[in-house]
Amino acid sequence: MKNQPVVIVTGASRGMGYWIAKWLSSRGANVTITARSLNDLQVLENQITGEGGSAIAISGDVSNPRTCLGIVEKTMKQFGRIDALVNNAGILDPISKIAECDPAQFQQNILVNLAGPFHMIRESIPALRESKGRIINISSGAAVKPIASWGAYCAAKAGLSHLTRVLAVEEPSITAVSVRPGVVDTGMQALIREKGPTAMTPELSNYFIKLKKQGKLEPPWVPARSIAWLALNAPSELSGELIEYDDPRILDPSIELFGTIQDVEQ
């Protein structure tokens, strides 16, 4: 695996991050997987290595700059290079109107969703310049659409998308893309259904509840496949864009490269 690409995936213990790492390893990429839960990371690490892949698990919170530095340093020590960084770790809380929002919770959201990617990016840039690599930031429809009671999340994701655009201007040798992954069946959606009835408007809360009941949430492996393709192959002409996970420019080649979930689970 020495000559294979090296990708860091944050928030890799579950949901999209888990599947991004699985897709990448299925095509021989070396992956550094990070999240707060070491036990879950070790399960994924064992799966990947058991299938002949190469992975290292590093637990930690990306809101801590020292954690971000450590992730990059350990990746370089293990693999000697970095070809892509996927900033997937994120939180939704606080679900609260701005007038009633806990300032500490608001700040923590910004630390995880915006400052965390900043620190990961900053520490990774020297290696990514060398490899002419890629930065994939997981954004959201909330970056462009105001959603009541999601003030911190909306602000952080809007900031992350614009940070991506700035990166595209500042770092021409690096391809930086932000992705809207759609409405995905993850723990974040479960949190919305749990807290929504008391913290959101009835119309908005019922909308998300109906999505689950009607089976309209996207399985996490679907957007993860597109994101994994971008980590390996994002063309430079996409740099700075906020792109939909099902945009044919990335969906079609991702299916061609990775196949279906049956292929990755074999």
Q: What is the pLDDT of residues 69-86, one digit of tens each?
A: 999 999 999 999 999 999
Which residue in 14, 15, 17, 160 sits closest to 86, CA to CA? 17
pTM: 0.96
d(CA 164, CA 53): 30
CB of 266 closer than 8 Å to CB of 233:
no
pLDDT, tens digit, for every residue of 158-217? 999 999 999 999 999 999 999 999 999 999 999 999 999 999 999 999 999 999 999 999
State the burial class of residue 7 (Cβ atoms within 10 Å of its Cβ: 0-12, 13-18, 19+).
buried
Prior bond of 94 cis (ω within 30°): yes
Q: What's the token pair of residue 128?
A: 């990514």
- The catalytic residue among 63, 140, 153, 161 is 153
54 is a catalytic site residue = no
d(CA 74, CA 80): 9
- The catalytic residue among 26, 63, 124, 139 is 139
pLDDT at 29 over 90: yes
Q: What is the pLDDT of residue 3?
A: 81
6-182+218-265 belongs to which CATH class?
alpha beta
Which residue in 5, 3, 9, 18 sits closest to 187, CA to CA? 18
Q: What's 64's DSSP letter?
A: S
96 is a catalytic site residue = no
pLDDT at 1 over 70: no
d(CA 226, CA 221): 9
- The catalytic residue among 157, 178, 226, 245 is 157
18 is a catalytic site residue = no
Q: What is the pLDDT of residue 242?
A: 98
Q: What is the pLDDT of residue 24?
A: 98
d(CA 63, CA 55): 22
Q: What is the mean pLDDT of residues 122-141?
A: 98
pLDDT at 106 over 90: yes
Q: What's 30's DSSP letter?
A: E
pLDDT at 265 over 90: no
What are the distances in angstroms from CA 208 to CA 69, 130, 189, 201, 203?
Answer: 37, 43, 8, 11, 9
Any idea which residue has 């290292």 for tokens? Answer: 56
Given strand 6-10, what is the order of strands in its sheet?
Answer: 54-59, 30-35, 6-10, 84-87, 134-138, 175-180, 242-244
What lies within 8 Å, CB to CB, of 223 at 6+ separation is: 16, 179, 181, 182, 184, 245, 246
